[in-house]
């Protein structure tokens, strides 16, 4: 009898422990509002958006200028600046765009110039906002790195890298450059590929929390989420990976190298990512490219994780989106949607505890 009682008690305690360790995912349905339609945007074709006070700031692919400032109440264009081109005051392609409340500035990285620039919030409505260069990689021609998006976290500059040297490159305040992180082993995809080819499959997208201490990274061709926490010059990387790139066709490019090409059976996972001090917001696809897909890949599912990597919410939007940003208080989600016939800006109000 005592033995039966002991076993029953043990099972009860284990059951209670399992319940306490579980983190149930809450499903939240959100209905949004089109705040800037395709016709209102005109020739602009925004690919990024940030919320600054009572303004929305977008970065465009089309048109003569890269940045537009919109009134959140009037829903009218208030200013446009930064000309496209190759001149010293012109940009070619902005690869990351972030609002930083601590410095009251917008940061944007030109991937071709390998330079990070900032514009102060107070300058956004000036006829010619001052665009200041914050940082340049200034890498040698024979560098082992091929850098993509760059962000500023604390006093460090961190870029994703697509060579087999490392998955990230960090420039420290003293100017020292170091490589951190490794790509998953190529054997998870195809043992026949080279390490360099394997590295190019992990197209990483970064976002930084408002506290400038935490970075979240998502991957398009793999179900992989990474969290980097800046800790006094250390950069511990937490990786959660559930699926590797699949159905990759290897095409030789000469000199023993090759290129990994996607096929109709290759799955796409994360589309876009944003962060607050509390949560990581990731647009999720998790399937092959839809047949006949035009424009950007869109999805109506946003997965929300805490900074320990645990999924807390799944936001089910009434429209599919390809880019999002969330205000620091987790109250407003701004998004871009594209159905192949033009881009619109959406606004969602939410209340996540």
Predicted confidence (pLDDT) per residue in 169-198, tens digit: 999 988 899 999 999 999 999 999 999 999
Token representation of residue 91: 């940009």
Q: How does pLDDT run across 306-317, given as a tens digit for each residue?
A: 999 999 999 999
Task: Kindly state the DSSP code that residue 186 receives in the 8-state scheme.
Answer: G
Average pLDDT on 120-128 reads 96
Worst-scoring range by mean pLDDT, 2-11, 212-221, 324-333?
A: 2-11
Q: Minimal CA–CA distance to 190: which of 266, 128, 119?
A: 266
Q: How does pLDDT run across 131-163, given as a tens digit for each residue?
A: 999 999 988 878 899 888 899 998 899 999 999
Please say if the pLDDT value at position 13 is more than 60. no
* Contact between residue 195 and residue 188 where contact means Cβ atoms under 8 Å apart: no
Q: Mean pLDDT highest for which of 50-59, 88-97, 338-347?
A: 50-59
Token representation of residue 100: 């930083």
Distance CA 204, CA 182 (A): 13
Average pLDDT on 210-237 reads 95
Average pLDDT on 186-215 reads 96
Tell me the average pLDDT of the chain.
90
pLDDT of amino acid 138: 84
Higher pLDDT among residues 352 and 48, named by residue: 48
* Contact between residue 62 and residue 44 where contact means Cβ atoms under 8 Å apart: yes
Please say if the pLDDT value at position 126 is more than 70. yes
Please say if the pLDDT value at position 12 is more than 70. no
The torsion region of residue 260 among left (phi > 0), alpha (psi -120 to 50) and beta comes to beta
Distance CA 155, CA 118 (A): 15
Higher pLDDT among residues 60 and 8, named by residue: 60
Q: Which residue has the tokens 């499959």?
A: 201
Q: Which domains does the chain have, with CATH numbers?
A: 30-349 (2.120.10.30)
pTM: 0.91
Distance CA 334, CA 349 (A): 9
Token representation of residue 104: 């009251």
- Give me the sign of the Cα torsion angle 342, 321, 104, 158: negative
pLDDT of amino acid 45: 87
pLDDT of amino acid 89: 65
């Amino acid at each position: 009898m005592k033995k039966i009682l002991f076993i029953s008690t043990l099972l009860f305690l284990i059951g209670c422990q399992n319940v306490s360790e579980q983190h149930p995912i809450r499903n939240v349905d959100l209905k949004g509002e089109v705040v800037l339609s395709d016709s209102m945007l005109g020739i602009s074709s925004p690919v990024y958006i940030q919320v600054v006070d009572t303004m929305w700031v977008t970065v465009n692919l089309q048109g003569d200028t890269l940045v537009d400032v919109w009134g959140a109440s009037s829903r009218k264009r208030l200013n446009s600046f930064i000309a496209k081109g190759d001149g010293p005051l012109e940009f070619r392609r902005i690869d990351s765009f972030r609002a930083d409340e601590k410095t009251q500035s917008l940061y944007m990285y030109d991937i071709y110039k390998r330079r990070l620039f900032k514009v102060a919030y107070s300058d956004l409505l000036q006829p010619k906002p001052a665009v200041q260069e914050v940082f340049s990689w200034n890498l040698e021609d024979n560098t082992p790195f091929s850098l993509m998006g760059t962000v500023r976290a604390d006093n460090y500059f961190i870029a994703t890298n697509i060579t087999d040297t490392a998955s990230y490159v960090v420039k420290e305040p003293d100017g020292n450059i170091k490589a951190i992180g490794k790509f998953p082993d190529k054997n998870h995809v195809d043992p026949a590929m080279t390490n360099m080819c394997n590295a190019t499959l992990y197209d990483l997208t970064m976002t930084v929390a408002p506290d400038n201490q935490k970075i979240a990274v998502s991957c398009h061709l793999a179900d992989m989420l990474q969290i980097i926490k800046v800790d006094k010059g250390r950069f511990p990387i937490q990786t959660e990976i559930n699926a590797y790139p699949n159905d990759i066709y290897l095409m030789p490019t000469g000199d023993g190298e090759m290129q990994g090409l996607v096929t109709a059976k290759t799955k796409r996972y994360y589309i876009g990512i944003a962060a607050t001090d509390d949560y990581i917001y990731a647009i999720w696809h998790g399937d092959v490219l839809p047949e006949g897909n035009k424009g950007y890949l869109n999805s109506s599912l946003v997965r929300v994780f805490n900074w320990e990597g645990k999924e807390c919410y799944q936001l089910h939007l009434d429209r599919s989106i390809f880019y999002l940003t969330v205000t620091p208080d987790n109250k407003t989600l701004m998004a871009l949607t594209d159905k192949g016939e033009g881009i619109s800006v959406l606004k969602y109000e939410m209340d996540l505890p």
